[in-house]
Amino acid sequence: MNMPFCLFAAGTNSQLGYIWDKSTIEARVIIGLLVILSMFAWSVMVSKSLQMRRARRLNDLFMAEFRAQKAVLDIHDRRVQVEGCPLFTVYQEGMVETEARLKQPDGSRKKHISLKSMEHVKRTLEGAVAREALALESGIILLALAVSGAPFLGLLGTVWGVMDTFAGVAQAGRADLAAMAPGVAAALITTVAGLLVAIPSMFGYNWLVHNLRVQTVELDNFAQELASKLETEFLKDE
């Protein structure tokens, strides 16, 4: 008896084994699709959770270091590299643009930049925030598909199985419980499989979306704070 491991790990359970034996080819195909979808959903939940946890930890460390600096370009001048830190990526892109605006032909830096140049730096920061938010969000759509699609796949299998059961009863010419129960039970197992995929995906999706919103707000706030420090340090008072 060859059953998908994540849905039928309890193979010794006689009821599950009996239902699986009575299920149709269509139901088994749908359950197989749900198993694959579940594997992808769990991989996304685990990988995105680790990614966001690491990003949050690195963001905290970077903010502590950033606020300890006297000049806004100090970290950039030290050529520090922090992989996987969204705040650092935003900072780095902003500093590269700022340095380009400050650079003079002889290689030295100007003390001030124009208001127009500062607007270019701000747009660079906004673009960096958007790209980092998209990077954090990538893959989460798969969980939304699992939440919305898995129950319908399960329902499709159930309706298909019930339809086959009633067709078989009609052809046999008898409608007793012994003839209908196995087919209906086998049909309902696809709905159970769909819910087993959708429920964990729903909780994982909501948790990840909440953390994504928090980190996106932190990116926006940091970009505004960085822009304010740049204006204070490099924008000449009119």
Residue whose entry in the numeric block shows the structure tokens 């991989």 = 43
How many other CB atoms are there within 10 angstroms of residue 129's CB atom?
24
User: What is the predicted pLDDT for the residue at 2?
Assistant: 40
Predicted pLDDT of residue 174 = 65
Q: Looking at residue 11, what is its pLDDT?
A: 44
Closest Cα partner for 215 from 162, 120, 137? 137
Q: Which residues of 18-35 are buried (b: 16+ CB within 10 A; e: fewer)?
A: ebbebbbebbbebbebbb
Backbone angles phi, psi at 176, to 5 degrees: -95, 165
Q: What is the DSSP letter of 139?
A: T
Both tokens of 35, joined, read 């198993």
Q: What residues form DSSP beta bridges with 109? A: 103
Q: Which residues pair with 113 in a beta bridge?
A: 235
Domain edges within the chain: 24-234
Strand partners, 235: 113
Exposed/middle/buried for 197, CB within 10 Å: 0-12, 13-18, 19+?
A: buried
Torsion over CA: 77, 78, 79, 84 (sign): negative
With contact defined as beta carbons under 8 Å apart, do 183 and 164 qualify?
yes
Per-residue pLDDT of the chain (238 residues; tens, 9 = 90+): 444 444 444 444 566 676 767 677 888 888 889 999 999 999 999 999 999 999 999 999 999 999 888 888 888 888 888 888 999 999 999 999 988 888 877 777 788 888 888 899 999 999 999 999 999 998 899 999 999 999 999 898 888 888 877 777 667 666 666 656 767 777 788 888 899 999 999 999 999 999 999 999 999 999 999 999 998 888 776 5
Name the nearest CA neighbour of 230 among 130, 133, 93.
93
